[in-house]
Amino acid sequence: MDTDPDKNWLRDKINENFLQLHRIDEVLYEGQTKYQSAKVFRSPLLGVCLVLDNKIQSTERDEFIYHEALVQPAMITHPGPETVFIAGGGEGATLREALRHKTVKRAVMVDIDDQVTALSKQYLPKHAGGAFEDIRAEVHHVDAREFLKKSKEKYDIIIIDLPDPIEEGPAAMLYTQEFFWIAREKLNIEGLIAVQAGSANPTELLNFTAVNKTLKSVFPVVTQCAVYMPCFGGPWGFCIASRKHNASMLTSYEVDGRIKDRGLTGLKFYDGETHRGMFSLPKYIREAIAAQTRIITDKKPLYLYKS
Residue 181 one-letter amino acid:
W
Give me the pLDDT at residue 1, please: 43
The secondary structure of residue 243, as a DSSP letter, is S
Residue 93 one-letter amino acid:
A
Number of residues assigned to the chain: 307
Distance CA 24, CA 45 (A): 9
pLDDT tens sequence across 84-100: 999 999 999 999 999 99
Residue 53 one-letter amino acid:
D
Give me the pLDDT at residue 301, please: 87
Mean pLDDT by 10 residues, the chain (307 residues): 67 82 95 94 96 93 98 98 97 98 97 96 96 97 96 97 68 91 98 96 93 97 97 95 97 97 95 98 97 93 65
Domains along the chain? 5-59 (2.30.140.10), 63-291 (3.40.50.150)
Give me the pLDDT at residue 114, please: 96
Active site residue 261: no
pLDDT tens sequence across 252-285: 999 999 999 999 999 999 999 999 999 999 999 9
Alpha helices in 102-243 (DSSP H): 114-123, 125-128, 144-150, 177-185, 206-216
Give me the pLDDT at residue 136, please: 98
Cβ neighbours for 120, distance < 8 A, ≥ 6 positions apart: 50, 90, 91, 92, 127, 128
Contact 174, 87 (CB under 8 A): yes
Contact 73, 50 (CB under 8 A): no
Q: Which long-range contacts (CB under 8 A, 24 or more apart) does 15-18 make?
A: 15/203, 15/204, 15/304, 15/305, 16/305, 18/203
Give me the pLDDT at residue 288, please: 97
Contact 93, 58 (CB under 8 A): yes
Give me the pLDDT at residue 198, please: 93
Give me the pLDDT at residue 165, please: 67
- Residue 19 pairs with which residues in a beta bridge? 13
Contact 33, 115 (CB under 8 A): yes
Q: What is the mean pLDDT of the chain?
A: 93
Contact 75, 98 (CB under 8 A): yes
Contact 159, 86 (CB under 8 A): yes
In the chain, what percentage of residues exceed pLDDT 70? 94
Give backbone dihedrals phi and psi of 157, rounded to 5 degrees, phi first: -135, 135
Distance of CA 24 to the CA centre of its chain: 24
Among 161, 261, 271, 298, the one annotated catalytic: 161
Sheet holding 83-88, edge to edge: 137-140, 106-110, 83-88, 155-161, 187-199, 234-242, 221-229
Name the nearest CA neighbour of 98 among 125, 130, 71: 71
